[in-house]
Structure 1
Amino acid sequence: MSAKKAERPFRWRGIAFIRRALLAVFVFGQTAIACYYLLWILPYHGGTVLEQALLALFALLYSWIAVGFWTAVFGLVIRLTGGDRYSLLKRHTPEQLDATPLARTAIVMPIYHEPVQKTLRGLRAVYRDLERTGQLEHFEFYILSDSRDPDVWLEEQTAWQYMCDELGAEGRLFYRRRTVNLNYKSGNVADFLRRWGRRSRYMVVLDADSLLSGKTLVRMVQLMQREPRTGILQTNPTLINGQSLFARLQQFANRVYSPLFATGLAAVQMGDAAFWGHNAIIRNDAFMRHCGLRKLPGFGLFKGPIMSHDFVEAAYMGRAGYEVWLEPGLGQSHEESPPTLGDELTRDERWSKGNLQHLWIMLFGRKLRFAHRMAFLNGIMAYVASPLWLLFLILTTVEATQMALTPIDYFPEDHQGLFPLWPEWRPEWAIGLALSTAALLFLPKFFAIFDVLVRRQARQFGGFIRLFFSVMIEILISVLLAPVRMLAHSRYILGAFLNFSLSWAGQNRTEETTWRDALVSQAPGMVIGFAWSAFAWTLDTVFFLWSLPVAIPLVLAAPTCVLLSRVRAGRLFKKRGLLIIPEERQRSLLMEDAADQGRLSPHQDGLTSFEEAILSPRLNRMHQDLARLPRGVVRRESLNRLAQLCLDFGPDALTRSELSHLCRDRESLAWLHNAAWRSSPESFWGERLAVLSAMD
């Protein structure tokens, strides 16, 4: 009887329904009370169209932040009571999981114009950590490049070859570069699955800055083996390796706060979780059958390829009857933060458009689970909340202007009759409502401190005093950045609806923000903040004071961006023991391997990757092996012409596209190598050979 009971599939949907209903009661109940207070704070108690619009906006935005607050509360309660007993990890004992045989798993890393050495050092660290588990034979590694610049992808190929030699990974570590960029990252993964998806049962997707320990990878495969209805298992990545002050703030906030939010989110979503596109394991056969992404059939923004694919793939997996789980208990899953606010906002511009596309799928997607539709709504609100807050501020400004400059209207639009409507002001209620909103935003941060203290982990964050001051610093900076993000996201949302085109590029992970860039990018917000505050001063002193929390951060946006981008500032805080995370105090072997600064391949200073590929005998042979033979006489003649031009005048005489054609052609690589070595010392290639000889 017990054996049969153990074989039954776990029924979690009833538990999920109760938890979601409880969350809805808390959120909507609290929002209703807050709206009642606002109704009586407004001078005409919702008697005008303007006040009704303010009330509607407030209800939407207050409920949005209330969801985050109560999710954190759920997470705190669950963590204080020993964890969610219905999570995947809690359903199986460590002994059961250790005894579970593994299946072949592909670890794939799609890349596009990433820092080659740093990116592949991270992948090498994952390989070595898996090797230490003794389970390496069950895993294969795939580098999937979409890079277009030949200097970049030639360096990728060189680093891959040296990785194979160094690790003895021939036949286990593969490299492929697509010649046609179709559908961005999702198209790259789809191309891999079409070619090699049936070689393995599972696929682990990594980003260029991802790190996953070997122990975690093995545990993920074991969980998938024991949970055949699970299509996607998502870890909760923590941020690491922050150098700039901005990156250190982000990784500290992530490390301290995310355990509460991730635990609460996992408890509410259960098997209807979202997929974040990386640091997750996927069941290949289910993914290939059910998660193909068709182009959107609508208009403008809602027409064409889906940019943000991960939430959609999770929804399609759920529609097919498979489960998607977020498992916060799977540790040693890491990624990195953008180093500057500008880089974060550049990324958000792409994400905002992708998330807005989900509106079409949320409304018109067939047979999607309600929980996944709510996940779409949550992602949409992450960006739409900004223009809604901006509209709320505009309407409150209009309301304040009317009250200050126009006579009192005793018979507003919706109050016609014999008795006038007397305007009333309740400042004590307004203060209470403001404090309630602030509590929703900031109390979870102090819940996180309490959680750290209960778990006796304060020492890992520098001790209680430094932890507390670090949280206060993070709160101050988040307040300064909120209006800047609000304006930027509002602009992105407007641009998305107008269907402005966006470029897809690799992320900056190292550069600091210059004063010129900061002033140019933040000038509109600085002007708006100063003008709004000046207008408020002429209007009413109380309204001026109310405007300062938004106006001051906008006026200071440029110096804030510059300061936060500085690595020196980040190091200063680290030296003082502030914004410390446990991974910095006790680094794992995985992180030590990834931090190894040694190059994966020799590099000749003064030579580009293309020049090395032509001149180095070993590299030239390797690139020839990865190249192909062209078809057709016309194409051969065109390549011969380009090769001669490159020989006579150097690579600068060719476009990037023309260089790519040469590098993909085996005969051109061989001919250029032989011809370059026979060049006269005064020629371009003769001078390059002198550089190569000097380094040798």
Structure 2
Amino acid sequence: MAVMSDLCEAPAAAGFTRWRLVAAFRRALLIVFVFGQTLVACYYLLWVLPYHGGTWLELAILGLFAVLYAWIAVGFWVAAFGFLFRLMGGDRYSLLRRHRDRDLQSVPLARTAIVMPVYHEPVHWTFSGLKAVYRDLERSGHLEHFEFFILSDSREPDTWLAEQAAWHELVRELGAEGRLFYRRRPVNLNYKSGNVADLLRRWGRRYKYMVVLDADSLISARTLVKMVRLMELEPRVGILQTNPNIINGQSLFARLQQFANRFYSPLFATGLAAIQMGDAAFWGHNAILRVRPFMRHCGLRKLRGPGIFGGPIMSHDFVEAAYMGRAGYEVWLEPGLGESFEESPPTLSDELVRDNRWAKGNLQHLWIMLTAPGLRFAHRMAFLNGVMAYVASPLWLLFLICTTIEAARMTLAPIDYFPDGHQGLFPLWPEWRPEWALALALSTVVLLFLPKILALVDAIFHRLVKGFGGLGRLTVSVLIEIAVSVLLAPLRMLAHSRFVLAALFNVSLKWAGQNRTEETTWSEALRTQLPGMMIGIGWSAFAWSLDRLFFLWSLPVALPLVLAVPTSVLLSRVSIGRSLKARHLLVIPEEQAPLAILEDARAARAQPQPCTGLRPVDRAVLIPDLNRLHWSLARDHRKAVREDNLKAAVTRCLKSGPDTLSASELSQVLQDQSSLAELHRKAWCAPPSGYWGRRIQRLTRENDS
């Protein structure tokens, strides 16, 4: 099959494609289901409320309920759509279903850059993953079409020196000269998106496609090759997004996230892809982008709004997808592209640290959604969906506060027959309909938990249960996941509410690398979860004094808050996660039959690292080969930085060691060729009793052993 060249590529705006009509019908159907169901639920609530919406407080409860109910209804119907499409064998309009395997295999590959931005990540662990991707492409016989870039924004000298040394060793081990590159930006501007943009400005025209990875990403060669060939066959597609599965979970928390992602995501991803079709979102990693239109149309200018809505865009991915769609190109999520992986934070605390960053970035999207011209409606709704992922928490908290006030008013205050300005000769009699309240509660439970049952049915129908440990263990795993998700929901609600408030007040954030190994200590859990714990105890005590029935109603929210500290600690325990894995609970198919790329990554990461008492800074100064490496990557900064300042910093470093310099001073010294050379030459002449003399003695002992 002939492949269209760049000159023949035309954006999707050139003509109305059939999928847009299908997408419009599916989205209309979703809207009817969601709003129809929400209207019915609101009608029930209106008659459950004592004054049937006759007070301002009840109207507030009704409005909050409508938003929250519609929010969870969207998730339910997306999963239901996914279940139906999987029963039918998949969506016939998806990119993979358009082309036969033999046609795909005949398509020649194009030059593709594989890009991994890093920022203070564990060096050996991260580079081992990239090594596994490289090896898999090498085995496939398609390595010649791909080049790799490690783009560092690390600021700590010990970290970026270790990165440079690890890159050099990796190039040597793989024989990847001229194919695996490392670059660290001198100025950390605009986060990850700025790092990628910097690469494209310099070398983007060398490549037709770019695959973006996170530091925890793994993609098999089979998937990478298939993605490039699909892009060659579909010139209207600007971004093709895979659905990454979570792997390598060790702690109980990570294993729960891994199981939930792997087991439930086929339904949600299939449903989401079927509704979004060519107006899908980009998740920032594990995706392939068409470089030329991405460079031309997806540049991110600073926002010009007030407070949080000004400055650089923190969450770039959804915005880039929207800009690609505005330019007339299609953006597709393809759930059928398997063998795409990422990892989750190991503890609840680490997940919430990540969510704190994402909350601010997602809230910025509200400004773009409302002000950016020319965006497609589906992408504006994607922005709204991302905003609601965090705004739903303070809305839920406000709903609980309003219902608590209503319960207190009905219990402590006399009945008001003429509430909130109600006038007339006839009083407004309060009414209670417990059977309607029960039906409404059950419908909400169905919306929340029926998708999990549908996932179980889907696994049985497609004969996937063996990969999850068998039907019995799979059912137990689902029950464990449901129980823990119920425990975590109130904790996330309070945390996300705090993040949203902090974002709206434009509290500055520190962007840091992700913890991937450490467990949560009792003191850390007490420090972070104590406020929520006190709220849960206080609310339960108030509910008990108010009304026994209201106390029981409050328990699903209050009890998890009371248990927040032990929950946070126990979920972080690796020993519990391993114990469940040994019993074949919370397992996933990739653990039962590992892929070659996963085995390669696991083996590389398990290799013991040399035990050394020398910091990367010490090794960069003393070891001749490493000093020459870092010197070759440094520049002459004597003109950019005052020469006397550099000389003074070098003198202090030689006299008392690198700890006498600030991180900024040390970075300036280690990025200057003359300073590096002088440090190496004079450190070896240092007296034995000094800092560098002691380091030389330790280095000698290491070499002797």
Deviation, structure 1 residue 680: 2.6
1:105 aligns with 2:126: no
- 1:181-230 alpha-carbon deviations (Å, 9 max, x no partner): 10111111111111111110111100000001111000000011111111
Partner of 1:456: 463
Q: How does 1:674-685 map to 2 (within 5 A)?
A: 674-685=681-692
Separation in structure 2 between the aligned mates of residue 532 and residue 256 of structure 1, nearest angstrom: 35
- 1:267-293 alpha-carbon deviations (Å, 9 max, x no partner): 000000000000000111101111111
- 1:572-608 alpha-carbon deviations (Å, 9 max, x no partner): 1111111111111111110111112468997461000
- 1:111-131 alpha-carbon deviations (Å, 9 max, x no partner): 000000000000000001111
Cα distance change, pair 44–459 in 1 and its aligned pair in 2 (3 A): same
More deviation in 557-566 or 624-633? 624-633
More deviation in 273-282 or 567-576? 567-576
Separation in structure 2 between the aligned mates of residue 600 and residue 134 of structure 1, nearest angstrom: 26
- 1:39-91 alpha-carbon deviations (Å, 9 max, x no partner): 11111111111111111111111010000000000000000100011000001
Deviation, structure 1 residue 420: 1.7
Q: Secondary structure at the match of 1:282?
A: strand
Deviation, structure 1 residue 476: 0.4
- 1:334-371 alpha-carbon deviations (Å, 9 max, x no partner): 00000000000011011001100111111111011000
More deviation in 228-237 or 650-659? 650-659
Structure 2 residue corresponding to 1:425, chosen from 415, 418, 432: 432
Deviation, structure 1 residue 233: 0.5
Separation in structure 1 between the aligned mates of residue 524 and residue 179 of structure 2, nearest angstrom: 44
Partner of 1:26: 33
Does the 8 A contact of 2:125 with 2:605 survive in 1? no
Deviation, structure 1 residue 634: 6.9
- 1:295-343 alpha-carbon deviations (Å, 9 max, x no partner): 1111111111111111011001000000100000000100000000000
> 5+ residue gaps in structure 1?
none
Q: Secondary structure at the match of 2:108?
A: coil
Partner of 1:187: 194
Does the 8 A contact of 1:359 with 1:377 survive in 2? yes
Separation in structure 2 between the aligned mates of residue 673 and residue 255 of structure 1, nearest angstrom: 51
1:613 aligns with 2:620: yes
Separation in structure 2 between the aligned mates of residue 414 and residue 574 of structure 1, nearest angstrom: 61
Separation in structure 2 between the aligned mates of residue 633 and residue 492 of structure 1, nearest angstrom: 40
- 1:389-426 alpha-carbon deviations (Å, 9 max, x no partner): 00000010011011101111222235321222221111
**Cα RMSD over matched residues?**
1.7
Q: Secondary structure at the match of 2:116?
A: strand
Cα distance change, pair 314–360 in 1 and its aligned pair in 2 (3 A): same
Does the 8 A contact of 2:638 with 2:672 survive in 1? no
Q: Aligned partner of 2:20: which letter?
A: R
Partner of 1:470: 477
Partner of 2:219: 212
Structure 1 vs Structure 2: percent identity of aligned residues? 69
Q: Aligned partner of 1:273: which letter?
A: A
Does the 8 A contact of 1:162 with 1:601 survive in 2? no
Structure 2 residue corresponding to 1:653, chosen from 642, 660, 664: 660
- 1:477-507 alpha-carbon deviations (Å, 9 max, x no partner): 0000000000000011111111111111111
Q: Secondary structure at the match of 1:12?
A: helix
Partner of 1:555: 562
Separation in structure 2 between the aligned mates of residue 393 and residue 9 of structure 1, nearest angstrom: 47
Q: Secondary structure at the match of 2:420?
A: coil
Q: How does 1:156-555 map to 2 (within 5 A)?
A: 156-413=163-420, 415-555=422-562
Does the 8 A contact of 1:533 with 1:547 survive in 2? yes
Deviation, structure 1 residue 628: 1.1
Does the 8 A contact of 1:47 with 1:414 survive in 2? no
Q: Secondary structure at the match of 2:642?
A: helix
Cα distance change, pair 633–76 in 1 and its aligned pair in 2 (3 A): closer
1:669 aligns with 2:676: yes
Partner of 1:82: 89
Cα distance change, pair 458–143 in 1 and its aligned pair in 2 (3 A): same
Separation in structure 1 between the aligned mates of residue 603 and residue 675 of structure 2, nearest angstrom: 36
Does the 8 A contact of 1:105 with 1:204 survive in 2? yes
Separation in structure 2 between the aligned mates of residue 132 and residue 102 of structure 1, nearest angstrom: 16
Q: Secondary structure at the match of 2:429?
A: coil
Does the 8 A contact of 2:119 with 2:152 survive in 1? yes
Q: Secondary structure at the match of 2:419?
A: coil
Structure 2 residue corresponding to 1:57, chosen from 54, 61, 64: 64
Q: How does 1:4-19 map to 2 (within 5 A)?
A: 10-19=17-26
Cα distance change, pair 166–9 in 1 and its aligned pair in 2 (3 A): farther
Does the 8 A contact of 1:339 with 1:510 survive in 2? yes
Cα distance change, pair 132–386 in 1 and its aligned pair in 2 (3 A): same
Q: Secondary structure at the match of 2:18?
A: coil
Deviation, structure 1 residue 675: 1.4
More deviation in 318-327 or 589-598? 589-598
- 1:517-568 alpha-carbon deviations (Å, 9 max, x no partner): 1011111111111111100111111001101111100000011000000111
Q: Secondary structure at the match of 1:658?
A: helix
Partner of 2:45: 38
Cα distance change, pair 520–646 in 1 and its aligned pair in 2 (3 A): same
Separation in structure 2 between the aligned mates of residue 556 and residue 496 of structure 1, nearest angstrom: 27
Q: Aligned partner of 2:229: which letter?
A: Q
Q: Secondary structure at the match of 1:643?
A: helix
Q: Aligned partner of 1:141: which letter?
A: F
Deviation, structure 1 residue 636: 3.0
Q: Aligned partner of 1:664: which letter?
A: Q
Does the 8 A contact of 1:116 with 1:156 survive in 2? yes
Separation in structure 1 between the aligned mates of residue 280 and residue 493 of structure 2, nearest angstrom: 27
Does the 8 A contact of 1:235 with 1:279 survive in 2? yes
Does the 8 A contact of 2:646 with 2:675 survive in 1? yes
Q: Secondary structure at the match of 2:114?
A: strand
> 5+ residue gaps in structure 2?
5-9
Q: Secondary structure at the match of 1:140?
A: strand
Q: Aligned partner of 2:342: which letter?
A: E
Cα distance change, pair 77–634 in 1 and its aligned pair in 2 (3 A): closer
Partner of 2:7: none
Does the 8 A contact of 1:107 with 1:206 survive in 2? yes
Q: Secondary structure at the match of 2:586?
A: coil
Does the 8 A contact of 1:159 with 1:600 survive in 2? no
Separation in structure 2 between the aligned mates of residue 454 and residue 285 of structure 1, nearest angstrom: 43
Does the 8 A contact of 1:158 with 1:601 survive in 2? no
Separation in structure 2 between the aligned mates of residue 628 and residue 180 of structure 1, nearest angstrom: 14
Cα distance change, pair 567–598 in 1 and its aligned pair in 2 (3 A): closer
Q: Aligned partner of 1:449: which letter?
A: L
More deviation in 676-685 or 10-19? 676-685
Deviation, structure 1 residue 386: 0.3
Does the 8 A contact of 1:117 with 1:599 survive in 2? no
Does the 8 A contact of 1:109 with 1:143 survive in 2? yes
Separation in structure 2 between the aligned mates of residue 533 and residue 634 of structure 1, nearest angstrom: 61
Does the 8 A contact of 1:121 with 1:600 survive in 2? no
Does the 8 A contact of 1:89 with 1:329 survive in 2? yes
